[in-house]
C-alpha cells in the first residue's frame, strides 16, 4: 500500500482532506473517499506464463481543480510553438532589427548590381561602410552603459531607417565615382524598382512575427522622402561615419550636368554654359562640390549641398544666357515652353511616376495628360499591387485560396492585345532622340508667332525648371528657389568685389 501524499481538497461530503494514497489503482483520501475520473494502471510486468498479459501503467494526473493535466511532452511542444510567435524586446529585439536592416540592405545592393550593372566591388565597399556603421553603434552603446553607471539611464535609439540604407548606397556609389545621384535613387524609390516601399514584407516570416511593431513601422518605408530629407540623412550619415577621412567625397558634377540636360531636354549648349559658369565663379576650387557633414536636425543652408548647388548653377546658366540675347536659345526655350504647356512632349514612365509622387508639386489629377494617366495605371498594376501583397498568399488557407481563384475566374482578363509598355519599349537612346526630335520639328516650323520678352521668358523658364526638377531631388519648389537666390546673391557679391568679372567673360 502506497504512502500518503498531498493533493487537492477532497470535497466529497465536505471532506477537507488533502492527503491521498493509491489503493487498487484509485486515488483515495485518508477518509476513504475515492476521486472520480482518476485511474492508475499498473506498469509492472506480471508473470507471462501465469497471466498471459503484459500491461503498462498510464499516469493520468490532475490539477488543483481535479481536471486532467497535459503531459510534459505536450507542454514543452506548446511552449516552444508559443515562443516562435512571441515578440522580442530589449537587446534581443535590437539585434533582430539590425539583422533585418542588413537583410534589406543586401537585397538593395543585389538589385543595383544585377539590374543597374554596378561593379562587383560595390558590394565589398558597401560592406565596409556597414561594418563601420555597426562600430559606431557599438561605441554609442558603450557610452550609454557608462552613462547608466553614472545614474543616467536614458536609452538612445539607433537612428536607422530605410533612408539610412539609401544613404549608404549613395555614399558607396559616390566613392566609386559612379554617375548615380539622389535623383536616380528618388526615381527608383518612386517607381518601386529598388526595395523601399513595405520592405518589411520581404523579411522572413518568423522575423516579422518576432520583431516589435515599432521596428516594423521603421522598415515599412512609407511615402518617398521629401523636403530634402534624403540630403539631410546623407549629411548625417557622413558625419557619423567620418566619411571624408577615408573615402572620396567629391561630386562628379559634370555627369550631373549632363543628366540635367537629358532630363530637361534643354539644348546641349547648356552643358558647356554651366561648366563655364562654375569655372568662372568657383575656379578650380572643388571644395564647393564635396559632401558636407553635420548632425543638425534643422539645416536650412541647402545651397551648400553639392547636388542642389549644381542644379542652381544649371538654371542660372541657361537663364542668364537667355537674358544675354542669344537668338537660338530664345527660340529654343520658346518652343520648349510651348511643348511643355501643351503636354505633347514624350515622358518616360519613371519620370511620370516620380512627378506624380509629389502631389503638392504636381497639382490636381484632373490636369494629368493621357500619357501620365497610362503610366500611373501601368505602374499601379505592375509594381504597386504586387509589392503591397507580398506574402499574402502564403497566409491564406486552402479554402481561401480556392475562393480567391474562383473570384478571379469570374472576371477573366483578356490578353489578346499587348500592353502599350510591352508593344513599345524604348531604349534610353531612342527615348532621348524622340524628345529632341519633337523639339526639332517645332523649330523647323517657320510660322511667325508672337514671342514674349526675354525677361518674361526667363522668369517662366526658371519657374518651369524649378517645378520640374524639385521632385526629382526630393525638395520643395520653395527650397530649390531659395538655393537659386542664395547662389545668385553669392555670384553678384563676387562680381561686385572684383571688377574683372563680367557676364560676357
Q: How far is CA 467 from CA 191, 282, 474, in A?
A: 19, 27, 11
User: 247 in helix, strand or coil?
Assistant: coil
pTM given for the model: 0.73
360: left (phi over 0), alpha (psi -120 to 50) or beta: alpha
Contact assessment for residue 487 and residue 309, using Cβ atoms and an 8 Å cutoff:
yes
- The candidate with the shortest Cα–Cα distance to 264, out of 483, 470, 484, is 470
**Cell numbers representing residue 309 in the block:** 548647388
Contact assessment for residue 10 and residue 16, using Cβ atoms and an 8 Å cutoff:
yes
Most distant CA pair in the chain, distance: 126
**Cell numbers representing residue 166 in the block:** 539609401
Contact assessment for residue 305 and residue 292, using Cβ atoms and an 8 Å cutoff:
yes
Please tell me the distance from the alpha carbon of residue 294 to that of residue 291, in angstroms, as a whole number.
10
39: left (phi over 0), alpha (psi -120 to 50) or beta: beta
- The candidate with the shortest Cα–Cα distance to 361, out of 225, 467, 229, is 467
**pLDDT value at residue 173:** 95
The β-bridge partners of 62 are 68
Q: What is the chain's pLDDT, residue by residue, as a tens digit (505 residues)?
A: 568 888 888 888 888 888 888 887 788 888 888 887 666 555 555 454 555 555 555 555 555 555 555 555 545 554 555 555 688 888 889 999 999 999 999 999 999 999 999 999 999 999 999 999 999 988 887 766 666 555 454 455 678 899 999 999 999 999 999 999 999 999 999 888 899 988 888 898 899 899 998 899 999 887 888 889 999 999 999 999 999 998 998 999 999 999 999 988 899 999 999 999 998 888 766 667 889 898 887 888 898 999 999 999 999 999 999 888 888 888 888 888 888 776 555 566 666 667 666 665 444 455 566 666 766 677 666 666 666 665 566 667 777 778 877 877 777 765 544 444 444 445 667 777 777 887 887 777 755 555 667 788 888 999 999 988 998 999 999 999 999 999 999 888 887 876 665 544 4
**pLDDT value at residue 419:** 47
Please tell me the distance from the alpha carbon of residue 341 to that of residue 335, in angstroms, as a whole number.
10
Q: Which sign does the torsion angle of CA 347, 349, 354, 355 carry?
A: positive
Cβ-in-10-Å burial (0-12, 13-18, 19+) of 185 comes to buried
Q: Backbone phi, then psi, for 283, in 5-degree steps? A: 65, -135
Please tell me the distance from the alpha carbon of residue 231 to that of residue 294, in angstroms, as a whole number.
11
Pairing of β 5-6 and β 34-39: unpaired
**pLDDT value at residue 280:** 87
Please tell me the distance from the alpha carbon of residue 165 to that of residue 173, in angstroms, as a whole number.
13
**pLDDT value at residue 407:** 78
Please tell me the distance from the alpha carbon of residue 105 to that of residue 32, in angstroms, as a whole number.
71
Q: How far is CA 43 from CA 16, 51, 55, 58, 95, in A?
A: 31, 14, 6, 8, 50
Please tell me the distance from the alpha carbon of residue 479 to that of residue 466, in angstroms, as a whole number.
10
User: 46 in helix, strand or coil?
Assistant: coil
Planar angle of CA 498, 502, 505, nearest 5 degrees = 120
Place of cell 485511474: 39
**Roughly what angle, to the nearest 10 degrees, separates helices 454-469 and 327-342?**
50
Contact assessment for residue 358 and residue 226, using Cβ atoms and an 8 Å cutoff:
yes
Continuous segment of H or E residues that includes residue 143: helix 121-149
**pLDDT value at residue 99:** 94
Contact assessment for residue 188 and residue 258, using Cβ atoms and an 8 Å cutoff:
no
**Cell numbers representing residue 33 in the block:** 473517499
- The candidate with the shortest Cα–Cα distance to 453, out of 277, 333, 273, is 333
Amino acid at each position: 500500500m502506497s504512502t500518503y501524499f498531498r493533493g487537492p481538497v477532497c470535497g466529497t461530503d465536505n471532506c477537507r482532506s488533502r492527503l491521498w494514497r493509491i489503493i487498487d489503482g484509485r486515488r483515495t483520501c485518508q477518509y476513504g473517499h475515492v476521486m472520480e475520473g482518476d485511474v492508475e494502471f499498473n506498469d509492472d510486468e506480471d508473470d507471462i506464463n501465469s497471466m498471459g498479459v503484459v500491461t503498462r501503467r498510464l499516469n493520468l494526473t490532475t490539477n488543483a481543480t481535479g481536471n486532467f493535466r497535459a503531459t510534459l511532452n505536450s507542454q514543452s511542444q506548446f511552449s516552444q510553438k508559443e515562443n516562435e510567435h512571441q515578440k522580442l524586446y530589449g537587446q534581443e529585439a535590437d539585434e533582430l532589427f539590425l539583422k533585418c536592416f542588413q537583410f534589406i540592405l543586401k537585397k538593395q545592393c543585389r538589385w543595383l548590381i544585377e539590374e543597374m550593372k554596378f561593379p562587383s566591388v560595390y558590394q565589398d565597399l558597401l560592406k565596409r561602410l556597414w561594418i563601420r556603421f555597426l562600430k559606431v553603434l557599438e561605441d554609442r552603446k558603450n557610452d550609454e552603459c557608462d552613462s547608466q553607471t553614472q545614474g543616467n539611464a536614458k536609452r538612445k535609439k539607433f537612428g536607422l531607417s530605410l533612408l539610412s540604407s539609401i544613404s549608404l548606397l549613395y555614399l558607396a556609389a559616390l566613392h566609386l565615382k559612379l554617375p548615380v545621384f539622389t535623383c536616380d535613387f528618388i526615381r527608383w524609390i518612386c517607381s518601386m524598382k529598388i526595395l523601399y516601399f513595405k520592405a518589411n514584407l520581404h523579411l522572413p516570416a518568423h522575423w516579422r512575427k518576432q520583431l516589435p511593431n515599432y521596428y516594423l513601422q521603421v522598415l515599412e518605408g512609407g511615402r518617398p522622402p521629401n523636403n530634402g530629407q534624403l540630403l539631410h540623412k546623407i549629411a548625417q550619415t557622413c558625419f557619423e561615419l567620418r566619411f571624408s577621412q577615408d573615402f572620396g567625397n567629391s561630386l562628379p558634377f559634370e555627369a550631373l550636368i549632363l543628366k540635367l540636360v537629358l532630363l530637361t531636354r534643354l539644348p546641349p549648349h547648356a552643358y558647356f554654359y554651366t561648366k563655364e559658369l562654375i569655372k568662372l565663379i568657383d575656379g578650380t576650387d572643388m571644395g564647393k562640390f564635396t559632401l558636407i557633414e553635420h548632425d543638425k536636425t534643422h539645416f536650412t543652408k541647402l545651397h551648400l549641398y553639392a547636388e542642389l548647388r549644381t542644379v542652381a548653377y544649371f538654371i542660372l546658366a541657361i537663364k542668364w544666357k537667355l537674358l544675354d540675347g542669344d537668338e537660338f536659345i530664345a527660340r529654343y526655350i520658346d518652343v520648349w515652353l510651348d511643348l511643355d504647356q501643351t503636354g505633347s512632349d514624350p515622358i518616360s514612365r519613371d519620370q511620370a511616376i516620380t512627378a506624380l509622387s509629389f502631389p503638392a508639386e504636381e497639382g490636381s489629377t484632373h490636369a494629368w495628360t493621357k500619357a501620365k494617366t497610362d503610366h500611373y495605371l501601368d505602374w499601379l498594376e505592375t509594381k504597386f499591387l504586387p509589392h503591397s501583397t507580398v506574402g499574402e498568399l502564403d497566409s491564406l488557407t486552402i479554402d481561401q485560396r480556392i475562393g480567391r481563384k474562383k473570384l478571379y475566374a469570374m472576371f477573366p482578363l483578356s490578353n489578346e492585345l499587348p500592353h502599350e509598355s510591352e508593344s513599345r519599349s524604348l531604349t534610353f537612346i531612342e527615348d532621348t532622340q524622340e524628345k529632341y526630335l519633337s523639339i526639332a520639328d517645332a523649330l523647323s516650323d517657320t510660322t511667325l508667332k508672337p514671342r514674349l520678352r526675354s525677361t518674361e521668358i526667363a522668369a517662366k523658364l526658371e519657374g518651369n525648371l524649378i517645378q520640374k526638377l524639385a521632385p526629382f531631388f526630393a525638395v520643395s519648389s520653395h527650397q530649390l528657389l531659395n538655393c537659386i537666390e542664395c547662389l545668385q546673391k553669392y555670384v553678384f557679391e563676387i562680381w561686385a568685389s572684383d571688377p574683372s568679372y563680367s557676364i560676357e567673360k
